[in-house]
Amino acid sequence: MGSLKLRNRFVMAPMTRNFSPGGIPSEGVAGYYRRRAEADVGLIITEGVGVDHPSAVGRETMGGGASPVLHGEETLARWREIVAGVHEAGGLIIPQLWHQGVIRVPGTGYHPDAPSARPSGVWGPIDKAMVPPEYLELVREPTAPLTDSEIGDIIAAFVRSAVNAKAVGFDGVALHGAHGYLIDSFLWRHTNMREDRWGGGAAERAGFAAALVRAIRSATGPDFPIIFRFSQWKLQDYDARNAETPGELEAMLAPLVAAGIDVFDASTRIFTTPAFEGADMGLAGWIRRLTGKPTIAVGGVGLSKDLQSSFAQPTVMTDNLSLVADRMAQGEFDLIAVGRALLMDPQWVSKMRHGGEVKPFRLDAYATLD
Ligand SMILES: Cc1cc2nc3c(=O)[nH]c(=O)nc-3n(C[C@H](O)[C@H](O)[C@H](O)COP(=O)(O)O)c2cc1C
């Protein structure tokens, strides 16, 4: 992957855990990641980490509010320990840089007074949201659209956090460009109606993401891997689409490739879902074909098919790795990310490899840091 060699193709998907009060990862976070590295995970992508900007993270969408950040002496010292622990165990670890953008609840987070960061001031259509009505009430009111200079400040904040990531030893950075958060809100036509250089057609709406990638690339050098997470679905609308056709997808991702992305992470809820009509191929397959870049697929690995479509509901563990292997062999994607199965069982990858009973799915696991 770029300049990195992974020991296998299993990636831990980014999962917000809320065990970092004040933005500083708590003691337990180091063990949590280290256990996965000790049990054969090839690459860990951390939970979303707030970038160094006051508007980056607010209260969590569905409760919580203790996401980590990547600045400040104490925080960086803690990350250094976490990274060292993963490396000692033979793993690799990359932080997911996160700015919640339109999804952040105004007046919350480590800097409650920070104004909202929204491309066009709007949260998006409010009739399809997959979030509780109480939450919707807090975000539905339009705010002032970002100014050009505020956009510049946010790009500089991403760069500072990426530079800090490199300084503490992380193996690259992953940009959270999915699920309706800031970067995705520039990509989506329903949250980006700008008529300046940050808005327009598919390629123009990718201008913010491309500017971010160029700035990070230039500050971190040619060999520091940059992963970009892209999704069609968002918290505003599970059926949303940034790109209606493969042609539109190609136009949107080309500026990112030109800016220096190494790997695309195609976030889907079920990795086998066809991305466009007329072909069986999932989103990761299309992105790989259209960009020529390595891709990560995700969604439903290790979980039973019929229940896997909701994150908030219980599901059942299963072994569907032959489906993953088949599609990988056909060249659909290069890496496979595993979220909930690895949250439930730190040893999931090693048990799939060597045998051993996988821990059952438990909703209460979300509240602990096993
Ligand atoms: C508790 C939890 C927290 C999550 N937090 C994030 C996050 O911070 N960033 C992100 O990009 N995706 C996040 N996701 C989505 C996962 O990365 C993954 O795409 C999703 O769970 C589907 O994979 P799975 O079926 O293997 O769980 C989260 C999912 C869960 C269950």
* CA-229 nearest atom, ligand 1: 11
Task: State which amino acid sits at residue 264.
Answer: F
Q: What is the rounded CA–CA span in Å between residue 346 and residue 17?
A: 14
Would you write out the chain's pLDDT as a tens digit for each of its 370 residues? 878 999 999 999 999 999 999 999 999 999 999 999 999 999 999 999 999 999 999 976 545 589 999 999 999 999 999 999 999 999 999 999 999 999 999 999 999 999 999 999 999 998 888 788 888 999 999 999 999 999 999 999 999 999 999 999 999 999 999 999 999 999 999 999 999 999 999 999 999 999 999 999 999 999 999 999 999 999 999 899 999 999 999 999 999 999 999 999 999 999 999 999 999 999 999 999 999 999 999 999 999 865 555 566 778 888 999 999 999 999 999 999 999 999 999 999 999 999 999 999 988 898 999 9
**Cα(337) to centroid(ligand 1), Å:** 10
Say what the pLDDT of residue 61 is. Answer: 56
Say what the pLDDT of residue 293 is. Answer: 97
Q: Fill in the DSSP letter of residue 224.
A: S
Could you state, in order of their start, the residue ranges of all structural domains in the chain? 10-367
Helices 207-220 and 148-167: crossing angle, nearest 10°?
Answer: 40
Tokens 């098919």 label which residue? 305
Task: State which amino acid sits at residue 215.
Answer: A
Asked if 181 is an active-site residue, the reply is yes
Instruction: List the one residue out of 350, 307, 305, 302 whose CA is nearest residue 322.
Output: 302
Tokens 């689409």 label which residue? 241
Strand 335-338 versus strand 295-298 pairing type: parallel
Q: Fill in the DSSP letter of residue 282.
A: -
Q: What is the rounded CA–CA span in Å between residue 59 and residue 62?
A: 8
Q: What angle do CA 201, 207, 209 make, to 5 degrees?
A: 125
Residues with CB under 6 A from ligand 1: 13-16, 47-48, 96, 176, 178, 229, 267, 298-301, 303, 308, 311, 338-341, 366
Task: State which amino acid sits at residue 176.
Answer: H
Say what the pLDDT of residue 37 is. Answer: 98
* CA-47 nearest atom, ligand 1: 8
Radius of gyration, alpha carbons of the chain: 19
Please say whether the beta carbons of 127 and 206 come within 8 A: no
Pocket test for ligand 1, best of 11, 16, 70, 358 (most atoms within 8 A of CB): 16
Say what the pLDDT of residue 287 is. Answer: 98
Say what the pLDDT of residue 63 is. Answer: 52
Out of 110, 181, 238, 366, pick the active-site residue: 181
**Cα(130) to centroid(ligand 1), Å:** 15
Say what the pLDDT of residue 230 is. Answer: 98
Q: What is the rounded CA–CA span in Å between residue 261 and residue 206?
A: 13
Say what the pLDDT of residue 78 is. Answer: 98
Instruction: List the one residue out of 259, 263, 250 whose CA is nearest residue 296.
Output: 263
Phi, psi at residue 282, to the nearest 5°? -80, 180
3-state SS class at 238: coil
Please say whether the beta carbons of 120 and 193 come within 8 A: yes
10-367: CATH class: alpha beta
DSSP labels for 116-172? Answer: P--SSS----SSS--S-HHHHHHH-S--PPPPHHHHHHHHHHHHHHHHHHHHTT-S-
